[in-house]
């Protein structure tokens, strides 16, 4: 991204340069109207920063020049000022943000916030589900939305929109997820706008939480209150003011995308806290955190669960003979193998050192033994660094009706591992949970 900075004060100029560089901008500098206008004639800019107190007194003229310029008529313009009372409404020209120079930190925060909301693709783009069967209204709104850069899927019936929404199973910050639904209420067909709203809110995953705008020709206050109770975020009455529609759409999508970012960060932090960095498996803390829920769900819904305790044979010799770097490669490859060998609902954990523990849902003893033998063979066939690596595997199972906890299950699996090792290693043994 590229910025034009029009600033005569060297200290302010350096400050702006550093702030914008932190946001990923390369910068050009114009110290006067003449210099800045020539740069604007020659270059493409993603943002233009103008000091309201330019020495030649032509700040507003420069802004007007950019507003009328074919290349920059839509380029965001920031006006920086020492006048804490100045606002956009006081200016005779189009300015996107007035930045008050209260302190360097506050200037940085204001610019960072503006860039995030207006230049980050996460916020300036969005996908909209639009339902309207009045072609005249739909065509006007579609033209406005598409000019703004939104991706719009338009449907004339709630049934079609509902089918489409059900097929798009992604949600959140994914680029192809829907960020907003706009629906008219008085639709033709058996399914009305209110039914579509109810359908969207019925999803238990992230699809059920996207913002919704309802469009109605009814001015009844009670209807609006009822719609808010049904989960609508905003309600517009026909005839629609287009500027108002765009502002409301922008606000709702921005808030949704901000929440998506927060959820992404939370997921990343959770992954860091629960994942073993070397192998990519869950870590021991994660196993202890989730095993209780894993077992209680099986008990409540009356299905079998099994555990594999997997211990690599003679692993100390690998570290002693080939070095810890080779040992780490072995663990990485074993971790990758295990992560790809089990179902999404199973819990694969590096429990410590060369020991792995796997909890398998909906899995009785016979199936667990069969799966464990497949894993044992896969480990033996892996031969990382052309080393022969084998594993002893202990299996334990909790059947419906048994009221035992993780500790008892693990003790049984661990005892089975010791029995496998005592019997010659590279084998699978099962022991009952007591």
How many angstroms separate the CA atoms of 313 and 173, rounded?
Answer: 44
> For residue 173, what are its two tokens?
């910050």
**Residue 315 neighbours by CB under 8 Å, 6+ apart:** 327, 330, 353, 354, 389
Question: Is 378's pLDDT higher than 90?
Answer: yes
Question: Which residue, 151, 127, 130, 149, is CA-closest to 141?
Answer: 130
| Stretch 72-99: mean pLDDT | 88
Give, to the nearest 10 degrees, the angle between helix 324-341 and helix 315-322.
140
Which segments of 133-243 are extended strands (E)? 151-155, 180-184, 212-216, 234-237
| Stretch 120-138: mean pLDDT | 82
pLDDT tier at 131 (50, 70, 90 boundaries)? Answer: very high
Question: Is 266's pLDDT higher than 90?
Answer: no
pLDDT tier at 123 (50, 70, 90 boundaries)? Answer: low
pLDDT digits (tens, 9 = 90+) for 325-362: 999 999 999 999 999 999 988 999 999 999 999 999 99
Q: Give the number of C-alpha atoms closer than 13 A to the C-alpha of residue 390, restricted to the C-beta side.
A: 12
The neighbour count for residue 60, using CB atoms within 10 Å, is 16
- Check whether the bond before 239 is cis (ω within 30° of 0): yes
The neighbour count for residue 96, using CB atoms within 10 Å, is 15
Q: For residue 7, what pLDDT is reported?
A: 85
pLDDT digits (tens, 9 = 90+) for 213-240: 999 988 888 999 999 999 999 999 888 8
CB-based contact 37:82 (threshold 8 Å): no
Which segments of 19-91 are extended strands (E)? 26-30, 47-51, 77-81
Average pLDDT over the chain reads: 90
Question: Is 124's pLDDT higher than 70?
Answer: no
Q: For residue 24, what pLDDT is reported?
A: 85
Question: Is 12's pLDDT higher than 90?
Answer: no
How many angstroms separate the CA atoms of 309 and 416, rounded?
Answer: 8
Residue identified by tokens 């050009």 is 28
Question: Is 371's pLDDT higher than 90?
Answer: yes
pLDDT tier at 113 (50, 70, 90 boundaries)? Answer: confident
Q: For residue 307, what pLDDT is reported?
A: 97
How many angstroms separate the CA atoms of 330 and 322, rounded?
Answer: 11
Q: For residue 122, what pLDDT is reported?
A: 56
Please report, for residues 147, 148, 197, 312, the alpha-carbon distance to residue 183 in angstroms, rounded to integers and kept in the order given: 20, 19, 8, 58
CB-based contact 3:26 (threshold 8 Å): yes
pLDDT digits (tens, 9 = 90+) for 274-296: 899 999 999 999 999 889 999 99
The alpha carbon of 198 is separated from its chain's Cα centroid by a whole number of angstroms, namely 25
Question: Which residue, 47, 28, 31, 52, is CA-closest to 100?
Answer: 52
pLDDT tier at 152 (50, 70, 90 boundaries)? Answer: very high
pLDDT tier at 306 (50, 70, 90 boundaries)? Answer: very high
Question: Residue 333: exposed, middle, or buried by beta-carbon count in 10 A (0-12, 13-18, 19+)?
Answer: middle
Three-state DSSP class for residue 411: helix
Question: Is 65's pLDDT higher than 60?
Answer: yes
Question: Which residue, 373, 371, 365, 342, is CA-closest to 412?
Answer: 365
| Stretch 259-263: mean pLDDT | 87
CB-based contact 364:433 (threshold 8 Å): no
């Amino acid at each position: 991204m590229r910025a034009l900075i029009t600033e005569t004060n060297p200290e302010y100029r350096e400050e702006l340069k550093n702030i914008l560089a932190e946001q990923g901008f390369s910068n050009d500098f114009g110290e006067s109207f003449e210099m800045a206008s020539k740069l604007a004639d020659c270059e493409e800019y993603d943002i233009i920063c103008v000091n309201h107190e330019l020495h030649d007194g032509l700040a507003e003229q420069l802004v007007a020049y950019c507003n009328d310029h074919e290349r920059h008529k839509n380029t965001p313009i920031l006006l920086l000022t020492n006048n804490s009372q100045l606002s956009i409404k006081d200016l005779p020209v189009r300015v996107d943000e007035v930045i008050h120079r209260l302190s360097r930190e506050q200037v940085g925060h204001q610019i960072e916030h503006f860039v995030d909301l207006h230049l980050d693709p996460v916020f300036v783009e969005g996908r909209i589900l639009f339902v309207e069967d009045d072609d005249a209204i739909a065509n006007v709104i579609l033209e406005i939305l598409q000019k703004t850069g939104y991706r719009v899927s338009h449907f004339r019936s709630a049934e079609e929109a509902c089918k489409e929404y059900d097929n798009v199973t992604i949600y959140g910050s994914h680029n192809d997820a829907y960020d907003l639904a706009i629906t008219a209420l008085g639709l033709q067909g058996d399914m009305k706008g209110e039914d579509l709203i109810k359908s969207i809110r019925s999803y238990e995953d992230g699809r059920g939480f996207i913002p919704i705008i309802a469009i109605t020709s009814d001015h009844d206050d009670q209807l609006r209150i009822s719609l808010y109770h049904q989960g609508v975020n905003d309600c517009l009455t026909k005839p629609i003011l287009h500027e108002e529609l765009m502002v409301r759409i922008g606000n709702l999508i921005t808030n949704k995308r901000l929440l998506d970012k927060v959820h992404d960060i939370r997921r990343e932090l959770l992954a860091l806290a629960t994942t073993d960095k070397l192998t990519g498996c869950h870590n021991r803390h994660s196993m202890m955190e989730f095993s209780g829920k894993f077992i209680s769900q099986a008990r409540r819904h009356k299905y079998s669960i099994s555990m594999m305790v997997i211990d690599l044979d003679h692993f100390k010799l690998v570290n002693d003979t080939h070095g810890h770097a080779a040992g780490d490669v072995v663990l990485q490859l074993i971790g990758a193998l295990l992560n790809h060998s089990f179902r999404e609902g199973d819990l694969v954990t590096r429990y410590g050192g060369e020991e792995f523990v796997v909890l398998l849902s909906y899995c009785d003893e016979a199936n667990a033994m069969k799966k464990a033998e497949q894993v044992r063979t896969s480990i033996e066939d892996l031969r990382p660094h052309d080393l022969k690596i084998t594993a002893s595997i202990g299996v334990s199972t909790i059947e419906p009706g048994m009221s035992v906890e993780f500790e008892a299950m693990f003790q049984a699996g661990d005892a089975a591992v010791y029995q496998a090792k005592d019997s010659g290693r590279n084998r699978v043994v099962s022991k009952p949970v007591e």
